[in-house]
């Protein structure tokens, strides 16, 4: 019988657990975690990263009202940790209000040293050997990079690695071999091709779009003039003619004012189009995101090779082929924005060009192409490359169809159809369709939808983001910008993607869901052998923690552990019962994080997960207890001048927020403020009434975090705090 089998396995597991003495590095995931104004300098300690880890600000985006969203990159002993960062919303005083991202804990258990045995040059040689790159016969390489990282692994200890890459021109082909290489042994851990594809006057366009004229039909070309010579060069964009070579070339120049010398393959002047569209993309990014797309001037390399049917970004510049039988020269506005935006991704999130992150990388560039069309023309067609695909090629009207990805014959439009062998151009369909759904939602348009994806790329996504964890970033970006995050959730639900913490879903996500006190997380589903992960942040003074699963079909097994993620052999509690009715209880709890895992003993669906605990009072300031709608916090107490802190997260569309204190004895004072922690001199509401019966109400509350402080005017005890809203 199954119960006997489980007993035998349990005995074996206990034996294995007792022999375990090491704590492996683990991933700590947070999504929209309220931080109650923790000083930014204290974040590393707040997340329990250890004395050898640090969080370093790498970028900052202003959000208004003095707030910024800051990407904090994790470092371990001075070495960046691959794919591990958090985006932190900070107030004007540098206090952290909310965080989303993934961090590595317990790295000390895996890494004795961060001094590599291999040099960066030797790691590059290992990549060249792995990629079989030859430098004979005129073959060349350029843009060599070899950067040291700490590399956390899902199934094994963290390792010291080099992320290596270079651009190779071999036998008439271009590639960008990229690999993660062990910095001590030279082992190639993972590899992939990192080449990311896809005022003067003069003509532009091609036989499909029709010929148009810069200076008449469109704005004149922005050029530099010296005497009677003009060059396609300005403060933002410079355009080179490679003259069918693969490198070098020269800045396009001509006798002012007319640039009209390079008609080819049905296009009237690819250099003019590339130069003009490069400027459009630059201006679009400035208008929509507040900053230029790249930290370097845009270099547009046109007429790459002969009959070359592609365009790409090589880490330093954009390259455009002249096409042949399938494409006109690949200098359309959306393709130009696509390639420039690969650079934006490389310089911000660094999405790895393989797996789900590779599909996100491609999709973001497609999304930026539509944003450029919307900015320049007032409308987007949601078709990738429609202006350059030749009708005679017989491949349809476009390369990709963002609102109906399967129309191209290979792309998917739901995460459930994803496989690890799928080309990144085809897996891009998941995020492409999510973007289309969002852009067409009431109250949204292409600009707003692009802005949340661009902010997610700049601040929230990491090199190893997945469909699911990436959705968390887009949701957080919507909240940051004051847009409706629920619409983002709906759009991603439409493609089978769910941010951990907002319900069930597919996409193979990784990461964990933060459970709130008394709030059920419903609709949890997974395949046999798959795991879903959760965290429970327990405040000081809490007691009687109970974690339960219930309902649904199939068979999920519940595992819990304090301080680290449980495994099949290391856990505090594992009921190990048939079905989905299981519970783990802790009468005495520790302040900190409890980790929860649901493991598919068999496939399961529609399971509900819930954590509940009792919250005590006292203890002074600095806490980060989160109030839930209608759930009272009882038994609060403190001495004179004691300060207790709480937060409440208000969703979009909420009405009639009421924060109340009642009961008990003594005299506490209620303070409430939106966006930052109140003080006795800075607050939005302070009733200042004798006794403990106080209330702050907001008929139309803002979307975001309200901060609450209870201050002991005199000693108080037995007070109840509650927040409610419609």
Compute the distance between CA of residue 625 and CA of residue 466 in angstroms, rounded to an integer: 29
Non-local CB neighbours of 227 within 8 Å, separated by 6+ positions: none
Q: Which comes out higher in pLDDT, residue 703 or 330?
A: 330
Start-to-end CA distance of the chain, whole Å, equals: 50
pLDDT of residue 137: 64
pLDDT of residue 178: 94
Non-local CB neighbours of 186 within 8 Å, separated by 6+ positions: 118, 122, 123, 126
pLDDT of residue 143: 92
Nearest CA among 417, 421, 426, 410 for reference residue 495: 417
Q: SS3 for 229?
A: strand
Supply the mean pLDDT for the chain. 87
* 311 strand-pairing partners: 320
Q: What average pLDDT does range 69-74 have in this prediction?
A: 95
Half-sphere exposure of 644 (CA within 13 A, CB side): 32
Give the DSSP letter string of 290-306. SS-SSSS-EEEEEEESS
pLDDT of residue 506: 36
Q: SS3 for 553?
A: strand
**Residue with structure tokens 């999405």?**
351
Nearest CA among 81, 48, 63, 314 for reference residue 175: 314
Non-local CB neighbours of 78 within 8 Å, separated by 6+ positions: 114
Give the DSSP letter string of 637-661. EE-TT-EEEEEEEEPTT---EEEEE
Compute the distance between CA of residue 696 and CA of residue 294 in angstroms, rounded to an integer: 46
Q: SS3 for 552?
A: coil
pLDDT of residue 2: 35
Bin 232: left if φ > 0, else alpha if -120 < ψ < 50, else beta.
beta
pLDDT of residue 22: 41
pLDDT of residue 6: 34
Q: What average pLDDT does range 116-137 have in this prediction?
A: 87
Compute the distance between CA of residue 160 and CA of residue 535 in angstroms, rounded to an integer: 28
**Residue with structure tokens 């042994």?**
185
Q: What average pLDDT does range 185-189 have in this prediction?
A: 94
Non-local CB neighbours of 11 within 8 Å, separated by 6+ positions: none
Sort 8 into a burial class: Cβ within 10 Å, 0-12 / 13-18 / 19+.
Answer: exposed
The yes-or-no verdict on residue 602 having pLDDT over 50 is: yes
Q: What's this model's pTM, rounded to 2 decimal places?
A: 0.66
Domains in the chain (CATH in brackets) are 26-109 (3.10.450.490), 126-193 (3.10.450.40), 196-347 (3.10.170.10), 349-505 (1.10.390.10), 512-614 (2.60.120.380), 625-724 (2.60.120.380)
The yes-or-no verdict on residue 621 having pLDDT over 50 is: no
Q: What is the DSSP letter of 506?
A: B
Nearest CA among 553, 546, 518, 549 for reference residue 532: 549
Confidence class of residue 48 from pLDDT cuts 50, 70 and 90? confident
Compute the distance between CA of residue 249 and CA of residue 305 in angstroms, rounded to an integer: 11
- Per-residue pLDDT reduced to its tens digit, 494-547: 999 988 755 433 333 344 677 878 878 887 877 777 778 888 888 767 888 999
Whether the Cβ atoms of residue 523 and residue 606 lie closer than 8 Å to each other: yes
Compute the distance between CA of residue 247 and CA of residue 215 in angstroms, rounded to an integer: 30
Which residues are identified as catalytic?
A: 339, 425
Whether the Cβ atoms of residue 124 and residue 137 lie closer than 8 Å to each other: no
Sort 235 into a burial class: Cβ within 10 Å, 0-12 / 13-18 / 19+.
Answer: exposed
The yes-or-no verdict on residue 661 having pLDDT over 90 is: yes
Element (H, E) at 344: helix 333-347
**Any long-range contacts for 293-299 (C-beta under 8 Å, 24+ apart)?**
293/340, 293/341, 293/343, 293/344, 294/340, 294/343, 294/344, 294/347, 295/347, 297/235, 297/236, 297/237, 297/238, 298/236, 298/237, 298/238, 298/340, 299/237, 299/238, 299/239, 299/240
Compute the distance between CA of residue 712 and CA of residue 432 in angstroms, rounded to an integer: 53
pLDDT of residue 616: 53
Angle between helices 467-480 and 429-439 (to 10 degrees): 30
Q: Which comes out higher in pLDDT, residue 141 or 65?
A: 141
Angle between helices 446-455 and 270-289 (to 10 degrees): 80
Confidence class of residue 557 from pLDDT cuts 50, 70 and 90? very high
């Amino acid at each position: 019988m199954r119960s006997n089998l489980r007993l035998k396995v349990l005995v074996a597991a206990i034996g294995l657990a007792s022999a375990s003495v090491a704590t492996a590095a683990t991933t700590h995931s947070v999504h929209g975690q309220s931080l109650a104004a923790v000083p930014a300098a204290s974040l590393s300690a707040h997340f329990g990263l250890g004395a050898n880890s640090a969080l370093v600000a790498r970028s900052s985006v202003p959000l208004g009202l003095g707030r910024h969203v800051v990407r904090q990159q994790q470092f371990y002993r001075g070495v960046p940790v691959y794919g591990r960062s958090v985006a932190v919303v900070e107030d004007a005083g540098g206090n952290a209000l909310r965080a989303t991202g993934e961090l590595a804990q317990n790295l000390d258990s895996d890494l004795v040293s961060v001094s590599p045995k291999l040099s960066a040059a030797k790691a590059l040689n290992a990549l060249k050997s792995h990629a079989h790159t030859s430098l004979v016969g005129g073959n060349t390489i350029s843009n060599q990079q070899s950067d040291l990282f700490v590399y956390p692994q899902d199934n094994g200890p963290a390792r010291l690695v080099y992320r290596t890459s270079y651009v190779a021109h071999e036998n008439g082909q271009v590639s960008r071999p990229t690999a993660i290489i062990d910095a001590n042994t030279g082992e190639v851990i993972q590899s992939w091709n990192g080449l990311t594809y896809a005022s003067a006057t003069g003509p532009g366009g091609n036989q499909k779009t029709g010929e148009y004229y810069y200076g008449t039909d469109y704005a004149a070309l922005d050029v530099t003039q010296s005497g009677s010579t003009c060059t396609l060069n300005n403060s933002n964009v410079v355009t080179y003619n490679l003259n069918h070579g693969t490198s070098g070339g020269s800045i396009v120049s001509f006798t002012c004012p007319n640039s009209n010398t390079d008609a080819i393959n049905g296009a009237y002047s690819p250099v003019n189009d590339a130069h003009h569209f490069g400027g459009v993309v630059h201006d679009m990014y400035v208008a929509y995101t507040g900053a230029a797309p790249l930290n370097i001037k845009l270099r547009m390399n046109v007429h790459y090779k002969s009959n070359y049917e592609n365009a790409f970004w090589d880490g330093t510049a954009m390259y455009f082929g002249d096409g042949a039988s399938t494409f006109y020269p690949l200098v359309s506005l959306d393709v130009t924005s696509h390639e420039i935006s690969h650079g934006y991704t490389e310089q911000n999130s660094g999405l790895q060009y393989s797996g789900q992150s590779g599909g996100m990388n491609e999709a973001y560039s497609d999304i930026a192409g539509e944003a450029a069309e919307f900015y320049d023309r007032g409308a987007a067609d949601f078709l990738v490359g429609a202006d350059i695909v030749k009708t005679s090629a017989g491949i349809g009207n476009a390369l990709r169809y963002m609102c109906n990805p399967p129309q191209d014959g290979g792309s998917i439009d739901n995460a459930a159809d994803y496989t690890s062998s799928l080309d990144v151009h085809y897996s891009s369909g998941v995020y492409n369709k999510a973007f289309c759904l969002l852009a067409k939602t009431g109250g949204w348009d292409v600009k707003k939808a692009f802005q949340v994806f661009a902010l997610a790329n700049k601040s929230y996504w990491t090199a190893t983001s997945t469909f699911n964890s990436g959705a968390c970033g887009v949701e957080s970006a919507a909240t940051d910008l004051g847009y409706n995050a629920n619409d983002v959730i709906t759009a991603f639900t439409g493609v089978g993607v769910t941010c951990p913490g907002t319900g069930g879903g597919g996409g193979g996500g990784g990461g964990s869901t933060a459970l709130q006190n008394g709030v059920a997380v419903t609709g949890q589903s997974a395949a046999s052998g798959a795991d879903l992960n959760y965290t429970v942040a327990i405040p000081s003074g809490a007691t009687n923690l109970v974690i339960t699963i219930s309902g649904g079909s199939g068979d999920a097994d519940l595992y819990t552990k304090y301080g680290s993620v449980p495994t099949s052999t290391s856990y505090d509690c594992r009921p190990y019962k048939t079905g989905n009715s299981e519970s783990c209880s802790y009468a005495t709890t520790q302040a900190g994080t409890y980790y929860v895992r649901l493991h598919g003993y068999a496939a399961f669906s529609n399971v509900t997960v819930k954590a509940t605990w009792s919250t005590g009072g006292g203890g002074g300031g600095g806490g980060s207890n989160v109030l839930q709608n209608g759930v009272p916090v009882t038994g609060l107490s403190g001495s004179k001048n004691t300060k207790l802190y709480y937060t409440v997260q208000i969703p979009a569309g909420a009405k009639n927020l009421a924060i109340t204190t009642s009961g008990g004895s003594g005299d506490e004072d209620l303070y409430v403020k939106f966006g930052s922690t109140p003080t006795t001199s800075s607050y939005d509401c302070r009733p200042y009434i004798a006794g403990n019966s106080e209330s702050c109400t907001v008929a139309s509350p803002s979307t975001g975090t309200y901060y609450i402080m209870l201050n002991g005017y005199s000693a108080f005890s037995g007070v109840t705090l509650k927040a409610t809203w419609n």
